[in-house]
Amino acid sequence: MGEWKYRIESLPESTAEGKYHPVTEALLTARGYVDETARERFLFPNFDRDIHSPFLFAQMERVVERIGLAKKAGEPVGVFGDYDADGVTSSVIMREALEAIGVSVSVFIPEKLSEGHGLNVNAIDFFERAGVRLVLTLDCGITNHNEITEAKKRGIDIIVIDHHNVPEVLPEAFAIINPKLSGETYPFRELCGAGASFKVAQALYARYLPQAADQLKWILDVVAVGTIADVMPLIDENRVIAKYGLIVLGKTRRVGFQEMFSVSNIKMDDSARPDARMIGFQIAPRINAASRMAHAMLAHDLLMEKDRAHARVLALELDAHNIARQKISATLADEVRQVASEKYADRKFIFAAGEHFPFGIVGLIAGRIASEFHKPTCVLTKGRETSQGSLRSIPELNIIETLEVCGDLLVKFGGHSQAAGMTIRNENLEAFYDKFNGLVEKHLTGIVTQPELWIDARLKPEHVSSQLMRDIRLFAPFGESNPEPVFMLEDIRVSEVRLVGNGSKHLKLKLASANGGKSFDAIGFSLAGAFPDLRKGERVDVVFQLNENTWNGSTGIQLKLLDLRRKS
């Protein structure tokens, strides 16, 4: 798993449990929750207390009034959403809110390969034909200067609802809702497109449908999916959205979700409540499969569908696309992995381009390889004259700043510090690699680009208790900026070894403390291959997360192993 690194170097000597377990106290302090108020807000998020007023956005009043004019005139409003999970969920949120207040809606989501990211002229033509005089761009628009000017010429007002980095010169939009705007009065900067759309929905309900404002909580399932899918930091308002959204998802009224879970065998009941991991690994990939393999409107239509039989048809179609996406991804990842190992083992930047690489999944593969090799990675689909694709980075390198230096070699590019997209003429590929790699090598001089395993703290066996387990549960939902705590126990004896699961690929262990005072059940998913000859009686250091396991009606603590090292 790579080098073990520690966030908390040493814990207090005491293992006595008070209001919080001593390990919990150390974790809270390390994560910046020092005083009792901050701890209370973090451990016990409260919707009514912690969700900010949407009218704290400097331009929200202007937005609500302009939508009100369209409502009064009986004009349709255009919704232009991005094609990823954040854009699709934003479109669903906005469409439902507008329809709830009595506005008819036209939705346009671009086709990923032919139209790409952001507002385009096709969409403006579409809205113009539909008699639309007001368009909301969701999860995009902040850099669409030319398109917004063109819309304005045609008498169409554009309201940008976005969260991406703000350019120095703003587009000529009627209004902009973006928490990152310079001088913005909204107190939380890290909302995603779905989060920003939810704030507009809240404002619309407050103004035009106040008696039903409480019903808006039923939309939080979709807001949480967008927030977690877009890997937003799960702190402050996002934490509240995620926590309450997961509760709503567990009892969702949305037949699209119900049929998605049924078709995909995603278990959802009181014993299997949804968590952030379920969104990240099961729900978001299915929504994203629509734009990767077909068209994002398929996912939008599924989430909007009211008829169960039709929702079933859409869910089956989406599931088939997701299965195809998984197969192609696995094959392509193996290919790029081989290129990375053979060609770039002694370099700090991995680069792969192929005519047969499907454009819909190159970003997915770049992310997977960057994570595995801990090196910035670029994967491109090679066309006849140009290549286009995605870059994914590592925390030590701001990829968009590095791309900007190479801008003269690119047709177009965009993104943020950890992920970007680009189009390049094929004759410039070699020059681009040399220039970009030189910048990466220079920037990462002295930085070891190998995987790291971050551990919160070294525990003593007596630290592991039901109170610590209860406290850790309060830290959920886990995600960006709030990772699930990872611990280490030193010099633990292996008292039992079994191989379990399909193909015997999982390690099932019983572990005992050196003095024999405590024993632990442990499971290491997919770790059997890494430790094929582990034997009873060996002594190991183990890295793990705390889990609960229910077996034969009784529930106990189980260590979910992430890595282990034999004692020499």
pLDDT reading at 167 higher than 90: no
Q: How many domains does the chain have?
A: 3
CA 151/CA 118 separation, integer angstroms: 14
User: Token pair of 377, please?
Assistant: 């990675």
Give the pLDDT of residue 270. 67
Which helix (H) or strand (E) segment holds residue 498: the answer is strand 487-500
- The pLDDT-based confidence of 565 (bands split at 50, 70, 90) is very high
- CB 413 within 8 Å of CB 421: yes
Strand order in the sheet with 157-161: 105-108, 77-81, 134-138, 157-161, 175-177
Q: Whole-prediction pTM value? A: 0.92
Choose the most confident range, by mean pLDDT, from 61-65, 401-405, 507-511, 550-554.
61-65
Task: Among 443, 474, 497, give the residue marking a domain's end.
Answer: 443
pLDDT reading at 114 higher than 90: no
Q: Is residue 540 part of a domain?
A: yes
Domain extent at residue 414: 344-443
One domain, residues 348 and 303: no
Residue that has been written with the tokens 């207390």 in this structure: 49
One domain, residues 126 and 268: yes
CA 527/CA 504 separation, integer angstroms: 10
CA 340/CA 347 separation, integer angstroms: 9
Q: DSSP character for 483?
A: P
One domain, residues 226 and 300: yes
Residues 440-469 as b/e (b if ≥16 CB within 10 A, e otherwise) read beeebeeeebeeeeebbbbbebebbbeebb
Q: Is residue 329 part of a domain?
A: no
Give the pLDDT of residue 234. 96
Q: Is residue 176 part of a domain?
A: yes
CA 376/CA 48 separation, integer angstroms: 41
One domain, residues 193 and 279: yes
Give the pLDDT of residue 283. 96
One domain, residues 294 and 358: no
Q: DSSP character for 504?
A: G
One domain, residues 439 and 459: no
- The pLDDT-based confidence of 15 (bands split at 50, 70, 90) is low
One domain, residues 113 and 232: yes
Task: Among 409, 443, 477, give the residue marking a domain's end.
Answer: 443
One domain, residues 39 and 64: no
Q: Is residue 323 part of a domain?
A: no
Q: Give the CATH number of the domain where residue 265 resides.
A: 3.90.1640.30
Q: Give the CATH number of the domain where residue 407 resides.
A: 3.10.310.30
One domain, residues 8 and 150: no
Which helix (H) or strand (E) segment holds residue 318: the answer is helix 308-343
Other CB atoms closer than 10 Å to residue 330's CB: what's the count? 12
One domain, residues 200 and 293: yes
**Cα Rg of the chain, angstroms:** 25
Q: What is the mean pLDDT of the chain?
A: 93
Q: Is residue 48 part of a domain?
A: no
Q: How far is CA 33 from CA 15, 306, 327, 426, 523, in A?
A: 20, 43, 43, 50, 31
- The pLDDT-based confidence of 127 (bands split at 50, 70, 90) is very high
One domain, residues 461 and 374: no
- Tell whether omega for the bond before 477 is within 30 degrees of 0, i.e. cis: yes
Task: Among 394, 425, 443, give the residue marking a domain's end.
Answer: 443
- The pLDDT-based confidence of 2 (bands split at 50, 70, 90) is confident
Q: Is residue 337 part of a domain?
A: no
For 440-535, strand residue ranges (E) read 452-455, 457-459, 487-500, 506-512, 519-524
